[in-house]
A = this chain, B = another copy of it.
Amino acid sequence: MSLNLPEKKRSSLSTSPARAICLSFFAVIAVGTLLLTLPYSSQDGQFTNVVDALFTATSATCVTGLVVFDTATKWSVFGQVTIIALIQIGGLGLLTITTFFNIAIGKRLGFRSMQRAQESINVDGVMDIDKMIRIVVKASFAVEGIGAAILMLVFVPKYGVHGIFISIFLAISAFCNAGFDILGFEEKFISLTNYNGSPIVIIVITFLIIIGGLGFIVWADLLDYRKTKKLMLHSRVVLLMTALLIVSGTVMFLVCEWYNPATLLDMPLGEKLSAAYFQSVSTRTAGFNTIDITQMFPVTKTFTMVLMFIGAAPGSTGGGIKVTTISVVVATVISVIRGREDTIIMKRKVAKNTVYKSLAIVMLAGLLVIIAGSVVYFSMPLSTLETGIDSMFEAVSAFATVGLSSGVTALANIPSKLVLTLTMFTGRVGPISFVLSLAANNGIKKNQIMPDGKIMVG
- Residues of A312-336 whose CB lies within 8 A of B: 314-315, 321-322, 324-325, 327-329, 332-333, 335-336
Instruction: Pick from B328, B339, B343: contact of A438, CB below 8 A.
Output: B339
Q: Is the CB of A454 within 8 A of B234?
A: yes
Q: How far is the CB of A276 from chain B (nearest CB, A)?
A: 21
Docked-complex contact A354 and B455, CB < 8 angstroms:
yes
Is A162 on the interface with B (CB-CB < 8 A)? no
Inter-chain contact A445/B339, CB cutoff 8 Å: yes
Any B CB within 8 A of the CB of A89? no
On whether the beta carbons of B332 and A359 are closer than 8 Å, the reply is yes
> Which of the segments A171-179, A281-289, A416-424, A427-435 contacts the partner chain?
A427-435
| A435→B453 contact, CB < 8 A | no
Query: Do B458 and A432 touch across chains, with their CB atoms under 8 A apart?
Result: yes
Bound complex: CA A116 to CA B353 (Å) = 34
Confirm or deny: A131 has a beta carbon within 8 angstroms of a beta carbon on chain B: no
- A100 CB to nearest chain B CB (Å): 14
Q: Which residues in B have their C-beta under 8 angstroms from that of A361? A: 457-458
Distance to closest chain B CB from A108 (angstroms): 10
Q: Which residues of B contact A329 (CB under 8 A)?
A: 359, 363
Q: Which residues in B have their C-beta under 8 angstroms from that of A348? A: 450-453
- Complex Cα distance, B457 from A353, in Å, reads 11
Give Cα A321–Cα B339 distance, bound, in whole angstroms: 19
Q: How far is the CA of A355 from the CA of B352 in the complex (A)?
A: 10
A261 at the interface (CB under 8 A from B): no
Asked if A121 CB lies within 8 Å of chain B CBs, one says: no
How many interface residues does A have (CB within 8 Å)? 76
Least distance between A113 CB and chain B CB atoms (Å): 11
**Chain B residue at minimum C-beta to C-beta distance from A326:** B457
Closest to A431 in B: B458
Point out the residue from B314, B324, B363, B389 that lies within 8 Å of A333, measured CB to CB.
B363
Let me know if A336 and B356 touch, CB within 8 A.
yes
| Distance, CA A347 to CA B453, complexed state (A) | 8
Is the beta-carbon distance between B455 and A328 smaller than 8 angstroms?
Answer: yes
Residues of chain B with a CB closer than 8 A to A447's CB: 340-342
Q: Mark A406-420, 1 if CB is under 8 A from B, else 0.
A: 000000000000000
Residues of B within 8 A of A437 (CB): 339
Residues in B with CB closer than 8 Å to A339 are 14, 437-438, 441-442, 445
CB distance from A307 to the nearest CB of B (A): 15
- Contact mask A375-419 → B, CB, 8 Å, 1/0? 000100000010011000000000000000000000000000000
Which B residues are CB-close (under 8 A) to A340?
Answer: 447
> Does A357 lie at the interface of the complex (its beta carbon under 8 Å from any beta carbon of B)?
yes
Q: Which residues of chain B are within 8 angstroms of A345 by Cβ–Cβ distance?
A: 453, 455
CB atoms of B332 and A360 under 8 A apart: yes
**Residues of B with C-beta under 8 A to A324:** 455-457
CA A437 to CA B353, docked complex, whole Å: 26
Q: Quick one: which of A336, A342, A456 has the most chain B CB within 10 A?
A: A456
Decide if A374 is an interface residue (CB 8 Å cutoff): yes
Kindly state whether residue A117 has any CB partner on chain B within 8 Å. Answer: no
A325 partner residues in chain B, CB cutoff 8 A: 457-458
CA distance A348 to B454 in the complex (A): 8
Say which residue of B332, B360, B388, B431 sits within 8 Å of A356 (CB atoms). B332
Q: Is A5 positioned at the interface, with any CB of B under 8 Å from its CB?
A: no
Q: Is A364 a contact partner of B453 (Cβ separation < 8 A)?
A: no
Could you say which residues of chain B place their CB within 8 Å of the CB of A233?
453-455
Instruction: Determine if A110 is an interface residue (Cβ-Cβ < 8 Å).
Output: yes
Q: Say whether A453 contacts B314, CB under 8 Å.
A: no
Chain B CB within 8 A of A31 CB: no
Residues of chain B with a CB closer than 8 A to A456's CB: 102, 109, 111, 217, 234, 314-315, 324
Identify 9 new A-B residue pairs, CB closer than 8 A, beyond the known A109-B456, A217-B456.
Answer: A14-B339, A299-B374, A315-B456, A336-B356, A338-B441, A361-B457, A388-B389, A434-B458, A435-B458
Q: Sample 12 A-B pairs with CB under 8 A, ordered by A number.
A: A109-B454, A322-B457, A325-B457, A325-B458, A338-B441, A339-B442, A348-B452, A349-B452, A351-B454, A355-B356, A361-B457, A388-B389
Across the A-B interface, the 10 shortest Cβ-Cβ residue pairs:
A348-B453, A339-B441, A233-B453, A336-B360, A435-B458, A325-B457, A349-B450, A333-B360, A361-B458, A431-B458
